[in-house]
Amino acid sequence: MTTPGLARPLDGVRIVDFSTVLSGPIASGLLADQGADVIKIESPEGDTCRQIGPAKGDLSAMYITINRGKRSLAIDLKAPAARPVLAALLRWADVALNNFRPGVMERLGLTDDAMATTNPRLVRASITGYGPDGPAAGDKVYDAVIQAAAGVCASHRDHRTGEPTLLSTAVCDKLTALTAAQAITAALFARERDGQGRRIEVSMLDAALAFQWPDAMYNHVFLDEPPAHFPEFGANNRPWKTADGFVTSMNPQQSEFIALCQALGRPDLPQDPRFTSLPSRGRHAKELRALLEEPMSRMRTDELIAACRAAGAPVARINERGEVIADPQVQHNQALVEIDQGRVGRVRLPRSAARFDGKPMLPQAPAAHLGQHTREVLQALGLPPAQIDRLIDDGVARQA
């Protein structure tokens, strides 16, 4: 699926993507939506992501979502016969992306120096868990591990027990992907100025720390004569129960707090000395919550939202996952699109969030079956038909 008549901002950019599962594929998927030609390199067994979530054949919901618009080349990178293919791919590409542990690319013969020598204009982007070196650099890492190490678990505590919790979404993988995609486009922009490729290193730990610092870690910013401890951001900001559902609200500005109290029929509360400023409301968050829970629980969700909207207080209904699809603003934004995924039928996916000149970037193509483009890519790289046949027959490469 394409947007007719619209030139995508990354049209002509070529990416060879060695990454697996989430962080790297999400990054390259975002760039594919924006026009990049992404060749996803998979082992003949396929990316583990193909097995996560509901699936039809080798296409899982997760795989489809983050790998739409890419071409799949299934090849055993460890096989000596694959070396000429890798060299050809690096000469073809503008960007090479991987999310292997330190040392893996080197064992494949793809040192940074070797890649830069093969293609001096190549942007070489590497995502790791902890970084390229250091005491934990060689450890295996998944999202939950980084949530623990970066303080994400400590920032989200069970309000009843005070124990740290894990977010049930791969937040560190996702934010690392966004960081990597931005860094790649910055390196491509710099290359337009000086013609030189660059090495990019993004660790999940570093990305998560940057994500944490503005709010979850603000009490650890000042080093010299630090000011008084500020209430932990959002520590008491939990859903509110209404008469027929749940809502959330945030009102950091005093005018917004006044508006919320007016909507709830408690215009007296903003005059209470405990609640006259954001810091004081944070210090007395439990008392404030106790006072607001009763009027919240008496109002129906629609009634509460209407009252808050009229008063100017930020509020939203808590949508269950299935309800998100029918949310009026989600539908108005056309944030979700349906595409034809071939023999597995239609699939519903989020479109790329960024619009360019008011136009959405719709997925360029559906996700590929494992090895769907192997022969096509190898032919485009200039390999003779006999060599391609031999790679497939020997099991080094796989054609769907």
Last residue in a domain, options 288, 317, 346: 317
344 and 249 within one domain: no
Q: What pTM value is reported for the model?
A: 0.95
The pLDDT of residue 228 is above 60: yes
Say which CATH number the domain at 279 has.
Answer: 3.30.1540.10
pLDDT the model gives residue 6: 55
352 - beta bridge partners? 361
Domain that holds residue 292: 240-317
Q: What is the mean pLDDT of the chain?
A: 96
Last residue in a domain, options 317, 341, 365: 317
Contact 25, 50 (CB under 8 A): no
Say which CATH number the domain at 207 has.
Answer: 3.40.50.10540
* Both structure tokens of 3: 């947007």
The pLDDT of residue 7 is above 60: yes
Cα dihedral 8/9/15/19 (nearest 10): -90
Last residue in a domain, options 293, 317, 341: 317
51 and 165 within one domain: yes
Q: Please state the separation of Cα 111 from the chain's center in Å.
A: 27
Q: What average pLDDT score do residues 368-383 get? A: 98
Residue 1 lies inside a defined structural domain of this protein: no
The pLDDT of residue 321 is above 90: yes
158 and 57 within one domain: yes
Percent of the chain at pLDDT > 90 equals 96
Token look-up 């959330």 returns 248
158 and 267 within one domain: no
Radius of gyration in angstroms for the set of CA atoms belonging to the chain, rounded to a whole number: 25
pLDDT the model gives residue 3: 46
102 and 68 within one domain: yes
| Neighbour order of strands in the sheet with 240-241 | 240-241, 246-249, 315-317
Q: How many domains does the chain have?
A: 2
87 and 183 within one domain: yes
Helices marked H in the chain — which ranges? 23-33, 61-67, 83-92, 104-107, 112-118, 143-149, 152-155, 171-194, 204-212, 254-263, 278-283, 285-298, 301-311, 321-324, 328-333, 374-380, 385-393
42 and 189 within one domain: yes
| pLDDT digits 0-9 by tens, 63-90 | 999 999 999 999 999 999 999 999 999 9
| pLDDT digits 0-9 by tens, 153-210 | 999 999 899 999 999 999 999 999 999 999 999 999 999 999 999 999 999 999 999 9
307 and 285 within one domain: yes
